[in-house]
Amino acid sequence: MDIDIPKMDLSTGAQMPKLGLGTWQLTGETCVKAVDLALQMGYDHIDTADVYGNHREVAEGISGHDRESIWITSKVNRGSLQYDEVLATCEKNLGELGVDYIDLYLIHWPDESVPMEETFRALKKLRDEGMVREIGVSNFMVEHLTEALEVAEVPIVNNQIKFHPMHQPWEVVEMCRENDISVTAYSPLARGEIFSSETMQRVAEEVDRTIPQVALRWLLQQQMIVIPKGSSEEHLRENLQVFDFHISPEHDEDIRAMG
């Protein structure tokens, strides 16, 4: 498939693909094949994390593809946020992924037991040394973002949060927008819950698309990056076909009312 996935301009000038493959709970050969197939189909953004335990499978999936054309996001886990541990974890992750750099490295969850300044100091060092290109956060709510913005010495370019039609923390999104932080929506399909929504069923029928396509398109129109999980060719293709239709203002209102 020859689909050119649009890019999001980040505050640093970097361009992040607006749609990626989420790999949470993808392991073993299933993960290898999903990553390889996705890249063959036109995906150019893979989202993983240290805690997922699938870096080696992702590495196998991206081997044979042009590294420079792939955006890789990974995350340092909540239990590894001390300065030395952040550095060691990133070095380990680079080895597992078989790459020289990670495009975007996120703090997976905030941890109040470690001074945030310490973690961001480590992320700055990784960025300064070229081990990561960009840094960001995940699962950071307003209070976490407030502190992060005070202590980070390099731009926080992304906050990856749970966001879908049935869970809409707009206050976090608004704060990100005010501070030029892009938002990635994880669990964009609500782990399947959206299939039982009458609103989503109706909108999907009216626009002649599937429920997942409606959910993803709606999030994209909110200027969010989406990382749906998929392993079968059918689902990978379905999730990719979201750039040739629009959600109307009326349908947007209906979906917003779900949250």
What amino acid positions are annotated as catalytic residues? 52
Reduced to 3 states (helix: H, G, I; strand: E, B; else coil), residue 53 is coil
Give strand pairing partners of 106: 75, 136
Closest to 122 in 3D by CA, of 91, 161, 158: 91
Reduced to 3 states (helix: H, G, I; strand: E, B; else coil), residue 201 is helix
Q: How far apart are CA 103 and CA 82, in angstroms?
A: 21
Helix residue ranges per DSSP H, the chain: 28-41, 55-62, 83-97, 116-128, 142-151, 170-178, 198-207, 211-221, 233-240, 249-256
